[in-house]
Homo-oligomer: A and B are copies of this chain.
Amino acid sequence: MKPNEILEGVRQFIATNQSAFIDQLCDFLRIPSVSTDPDYREDVCEAADFLARHMKDIGVAYVEVIPTRGHPIVMGHTELDPRRPTVLVYGHYDVQPPDPYDLWESPPFEPDVRNGRIYARGAADDKGQLFGHLKAFEWMHQNGVLPCNVKFVFEGEEEIGSPHLARFLAANHERLACDVVLVSDTSMLSLQTPSITVGLRGLSYFEITFRGPDRDLHSGIYGGALLNPANALANLIASLHDPMGRITVPHLYDEVAPPSPEEHEVIEYMRIWDAKIQEEAGVLALSGEAGLSAYERIAFRPSLDVNGMWSGYTGEGSKTIIPAEAHAKFSIRLVPNQQHEKINELVRKFVDANIPKGIKASLKVYHGGDPYWLSPSSLEYRAASAAIADVFGKRALPLRTGGSIPVVSDFKKHLGAETVLLGFGLDSDAIHSPNEHFGVENFLLEIQTIPLFHWYYAHLKQAGR
């Protein structure tokens, strides 16, 4: 089958079954698989079982629910043909808590279809997007269009940071061997301006403590004669940026890669984002590295933020002390080709070189992650882009996002595969918020796009391009 025949076939399939598909998705959404709350433990398991049953129903040859020390992982795959490349589809069936409950216009676990959207917790993140892959597979299986071997890995702990996934990937790297990982858990700019996520930032996260006097001191009796650790820490934090908004840690920018040629055009287009970001964030003005748009600052440049700080007396009224200690949590978002372990060392050196006299400092380094970039000229990207072009009738923009998706690094590390982030949500889907929803149109476009991705990926791979 050729791409245009596949598209035609899937569209027929959707036309016939659309309302059944939405009903099935609603059944899935009705299970409150909140992973963050132990009270929902049985519901999470029920969602895993629902998935496994449904995968068997639609023809996934081998399906297994695998217990972990946390919530189970649902795995499945087709009969494996060694002549074909293998696509590993990743998704998560757990959801965020529904709070604040009162702000939902329809109950979070009673899916409601209105205004062309499916409203429910998990509709877009990620049950709906995960389910699109199953419906696409259902068509491919029914029609014998399986240009790639397909493996599925669906976890139930994404919303709590995937604590058991990396170990699972490491332990099962042979069973999970694949050529590419395909994930639909992100958004597009809009249905009129489709986009594929090609960049994620990494993270280095620190907690610093400055200790001065061995106890809180009277600020009258001692004030002026010794360095106040809170003032000193403020000074250190301030020194982390220069007046142009750049981070001052030496060599921090050494490995920051410039935008690729394909991305320059996107940067121009995304200047329209400045107003959007300002409004969304609810700030009086944007700020940051001089001369750059919000998109460039968020997507292409490292950023350093204090995430929390505390020292001394924080209650009502006045207390005249010199605090014994001051603390801050701060983190740096990293961009390709920065590596978080190198950055950790640079920050440690900077701190060591800037501990003021009279202060004992300690720096704790938290678990971090590397940034991710899929070149728009890569085979993986081109397969996704071709599929989007066929379905949407438009070229996708290769878009970077400022956040991190740690599992992407885990796939690279444990399976050696690139990940294609082919998301069909929208920024306005209210994921993690009340009234989360997923557009019916988005869902149906996803089902059309996936089989084409498999087809283009297999053909590009076969052609060695």
A402 and B226 contact, CB distance less than 8 A: no
Closest residue of chain B to A355, judged by CB? B284
A226 and B283 contact, CB distance less than 8 A: yes
Q: Which of A234, A285, A326, A403 has the most CB of B within 10 A?
A: A234
A310 and B317 contact, CB distance less than 8 A: no
A318 and B307 contact, CB distance less than 8 A: yes
Interface string of A184-208 (1 = CB under 8 A from B): 0000000000000000010101010
Closest residue of chain B to A368, judged by CB? B318
B223 and A333 contact, CB distance less than 8 A: yes
In chain A between 258 and 307, which residues have their CB closer than 8 angstroms to a CB of chain B?
Answer: 277-278, 280-289, 294, 297-298, 301-307
Q: For residue A3, which residues in chain B have a CB less than 8 angstroms away from its CB?
A: none
Rounded to whole angstroms, the CA-CA distance of A339 and B167 in the bound complex is 65
Q: For residue A280, which residues in chain B have a CB less than 8 angstroms away from its CB?
A: 222
Closest residue of chain B to A321, judged by CB? B307
Q: For residue A234, which residues in chain B have a CB less than 8 angstroms away from its CB?
A: 233-235, 237-238, 306, 309, 328
B286 and A225 contact, CB distance less than 8 A: yes
The reply on A213 being an interface residue by CB < 8 A is yes
The reply on A57 being an interface residue by CB < 8 A is no
A221 and B402 contact, CB distance less than 8 A: yes
Q: Which of A237, A309, A357, A359 has the most CB of B within 10 A?
A: A309
A297 and B220 contact, CB distance less than 8 A: no
Contact size class for A?
Answer: 35 or more
Closest residue of chain B to A313, judged by CB? B308
The reply on A346 being an interface residue by CB < 8 A is no
Interface string of A305-331 (1 = CB under 8 A from B): 111111111110111111100111101
Q: For residue A35, which residues in chain B have a CB less than 8 angstroms away from its CB?
A: none
The reply on A231 being an interface residue by CB < 8 A is yes
Q: How far is the CB of A431 from chain B (nearest CB, A)?
A: 11
A329 and B333 contact, CB distance less than 8 A: no
Q: Which of A223, A237, A282, A320 has the most CB of B within 10 A?
A: A223
A284-B358, A323-B308 known; A241-B231 Cβ under 8 A: yes
A-B pairs, 4 with minimum CB distance: A214-B282, A224-B303, A220-B403, A238-B238
